[in-house]
A and B are shown apart, each in its own frame.
Chain A
Amino acid sequence: MKDKHQIRLSGSGGQGMITAGVILAEAAGVHDGKNVVQSQSYGPEARGGASKAEVIISDQEIFFPKATAIDILLAMTQEAWDRYSDDLREGGLAVVDSFYVKAAGRPNVHALPLSQSAREEVGIEIVANFIALAAIAELTGVVSKAALEKAMLARVPRGTEDKNRKALEIGYRLARGAKG
């Protein structure tokens, strides 16, 4: 496995991209012991508008903190895909929400029913971000599942643990299906 991974999680404000970025960074950094930086970009509005979180995970010290050539891209909306898919490096991997995003014409794109599974199996769409994180973990191994669960449970409101754990399981399952 290469020693530096540049990951961008993108969607619209309110979809939990920054929360997902923080949890991914905490999992890889604090629990898996890697070097991590996490940054974000968002507009002045609290809901809607483009939102992205970036995480760089490396065995080496990380100097420049922003992603320049994306290894792993998550796009939860068409706007996010249209805006960011060009930054995906050749050979990079993408996970997109199959309900909201049409991402034809690129290899290594996994269109998964992230929001749909969240609605149908968990009953709330808000956990789609955690389904996506689990799918990324399963597909890339960039973070360990144990670390991901630990970091997630430390950041979610008490009483929501079961729903969020279920989201991770859905993500792993969808990704295993995608791997074939």
Chain B
Amino acid sequence: MSADIRLLQGNEACAEGAIYAGCDFFGGYPITPSTEVAEEMARLLPRHGGKFIQMEDEIAGIATMLGAGAAGAKAMTATSGPGFSLMMELLGYGCMAEIPAVIVNVQRAGPSTGLPTKGAQADMMQARWGTHGDHPAIALCPSSVAESFSLTVKSFNLAERFRMPVQLMLDEFIGHLREKVTIPAPGELEVYTHPRPSVAPGEYRHFGDGTSVGGAYAAMGTGYRFNITGLTHDPMGFPTGRTDEIRWKMDRLRAKTDDHLPELVDVEREFLDDAEVVLFAYGGGARTAQEAVRLARARGIKAGLLRPRIVWPFPDQTVADALAKAKAMLVVELNQGQLIGEVRRVNQGGTKVVPVLRYDGEIITPDELMTAVEANR
């Protein structure tokens, strides 16, 4: 069979990736610039035996996604700025109730209605802390249409394994970019589906030991009885006020990411071995950095690129290692400075941390970035 090569938009590749990962439910409400994800899912899901529901708003959209996830579907929703804000409360519900699902945010410039057709990366901290309360977060940022496909597959895998909502933080630049993509053949990319419990229904505890990461958990309506609630709960899912059980639950949530950091590091490193000027970039903004790092090398500047594909949890150790060897780290973001705070947090030495930001709806040009590289060489 010849390779399946197509010209796809980032948003379309996201939908194709979801289908590849076995997604069988989409609930949402269309919003620019994420609409093509919903359109493609509406077209593709019925052909693959899945269900698509357009709800009355984004709150209902994420609610149906969580309901489907709890009932055993591989579920997703897609939105942008204002819709993402509306989804925040139920994102926390998904964390508390430990429901696997994928939320796609195709970031546009905000705040509020902002610039619906223009891109930004200004929801990065919202992805980490947008819902209230301590909670784990997993978020990924694709920098190409091909990655929009592969990281969507990965988002579903992580959601299943870590048993929590995963956020795919696209941006308008990649969401609406069209590139040539070779669709992976079935089996080429790993598709992970969590195991179902093998114990007798009477012995099953939905939030029992070993069910948090990589363990077996049951879908609602399959004979296993349990409760799910947004209230802090015990291993059966029933509300609790006992301090030992509260601590148990909160530590269990934190451990999802904190105890599994090595498998949650996904960073592209280019030209880093001898790099004195390191560009830190992600998502659509990284396309400028990929160009600039090559321009810099051609000019004899020892530049390198650190590009996290998983941004939450933040790759502390990887960034710290690069900082320790660099003279300067230039943090390239399409916002007024969000992940730069994380870079500064892990910067223990005297490495200069320099923001290179743009927040007018346009992407930073290679010339603009090279000016900053030259100034910090």
Chain A residues close to B by CB (< 8 Å): 22, 25-26, 29-30, 35-44, 63-66, 68
| Pairwise interchain contact B288-A37, C-beta atoms closer than 8 A | no
| Pairwise interchain contact B116-A30, C-beta atoms closer than 8 A | no
Q: Give min CB distance, B183 to chain A, whole Å.
A: 12
> Does any Cβ of A come within 8 Å of B196's Cβ?
no
Q: Give min CB distance, A25 to chain B, whole Å.
A: 6
| Pairwise interchain contact A43-B117, C-beta atoms closer than 8 A | yes
| Pairwise interchain contact B290-A22, C-beta atoms closer than 8 A | no
Residues of A within 8 Å of B360, CB to CB, are: none
Residues of B within 8 Å of A35, CB to CB, are: 180
Select B363's contact among A36, A42, A66, beta carbons within 8 Å: A66
Residues of B within 8 Å of A63, CB to CB, are: 287-288, 290-291, 294
Q: How far is the CA of A65 from the CA of B288 in the complex (A)?
A: 8
Since A26-B7, A35-B180, A43-B117 are in contact, a sample of 6 more A-B pairs with Cβ atoms closer than 8 Å, ordered by chain A residue number, is A29-B179, A42-B117, A63-B290, A64-B290, A64-B366, A65-B177
Given contacts A36-B7, A39-B177, whether A64 and B117 have CB atoms under 8 Å apart is no
Select A30's contact among B117, B180, B288, beta carbons within 8 Å: B180
Residues of B within 8 Å of A43, CB to CB, are: 117
Given contacts A37-B178, A40-B176, A65-B177, whether A25 and B367 have CB atoms under 8 Å apart is no
Q: Which residue of B lies closest to A35 (CB)?
A: B180
> Does any Cβ of A come within 8 Å of B173's Cβ?
yes
| Pairwise interchain contact B365-A68, C-beta atoms closer than 8 A | yes
Chain B residues close to A by CB (< 8 Å): 5-7, 32, 116-117, 173, 176-180, 287-288, 290-291, 294, 363, 365-367
Select A39's contact among B176, B288, B365, B367, beta carbons within 8 Å: B176
Select B180's contact among A22, A36, A68, beta carbons within 8 Å: A36
| Pairwise interchain contact B287-A64, C-beta atoms closer than 8 A | yes
Q: Give min CB distance, A83 to chain B, whole Å.
A: 14
| Pairwise interchain contact A36-B179, C-beta atoms closer than 8 A | yes
Q: Give min CB distance, A174 to chain B, whole Å.
A: 27
Across the A-B interface, the 7 shortest Cβ-Cβ residue pairs? A64-B291, A63-B290, A63-B291, A38-B178, A29-B180, A26-B7, A64-B366
Residues of B within 8 Å of A36, CB to CB, are: 7, 178-180
Q: Give min CB distance, A104 to chain B, whole Å.
A: 30
Q: Give min CB distance, B146 to chain A, whole Å.
A: 11
Cβ contacts A to B, 17 pairs, < 8 Å = A26-B7, A30-B5, A30-B180, A37-B177, A37-B179, A38-B7, A38-B179, A39-B177, A39-B178, A40-B176, A43-B117, A63-B290, A63-B294, A64-B288, A64-B290, A64-B366, A66-B363
Q: Give min CB distance, B346 to chain A, whole Å.
A: 27
Select A25's contact among B32, B116, B178, B365, beta carbons within 8 Å: B178
Q: How far is the CA of A177 from the CA of B115 in the complex (A)?
A: 43
Q: How far is the CA of A41 from the CA of B176 in the complex (A)?
A: 9
Q: Which residue of B lies closest to A66 (CB)?
A: B363
Residues of B within 8 Å of A41, CB to CB, are: 117
Q: How far is the CA of A158 from the CA of B177 in the complex (A)?
A: 26
Q: How far is the CA of A13 from the CA of B117 in the complex (A)?
A: 13
Residues of B within 8 Å of A44, CB to CB, are: 32, 116-117
Residues of A within 8 Å of B365, CB to CB, are: 64, 66, 68
| Pairwise interchain contact B288-A22, C-beta atoms closer than 8 A | no
Q: Which residue of A lies closest to B363 (CB)?
A: A66
Residues of A within 8 Å of B367, CB to CB, are: 68
Q: Which residue of B lies closest to A42 (CB)?
A: B117
Q: Which residue of A lies closest to B294 (CB)?
A: A63
Q: Which residue of A lies closest to B366 (CB)?
A: A64
Residues of A within 8 Å of B288, CB to CB, are: 63-64
Residues of A within 8 Å of B291, CB to CB, are: 63-64
Residues of A within 8 Å of B176, CB to CB, are: 39-40
Residues of A within 8 Å of B117, CB to CB, are: 41-44
Q: Give min CB distance, A147 to chain B, whole Å.
A: 12
Q: Which residue of B lies closest to A61 (CB)?
A: B290
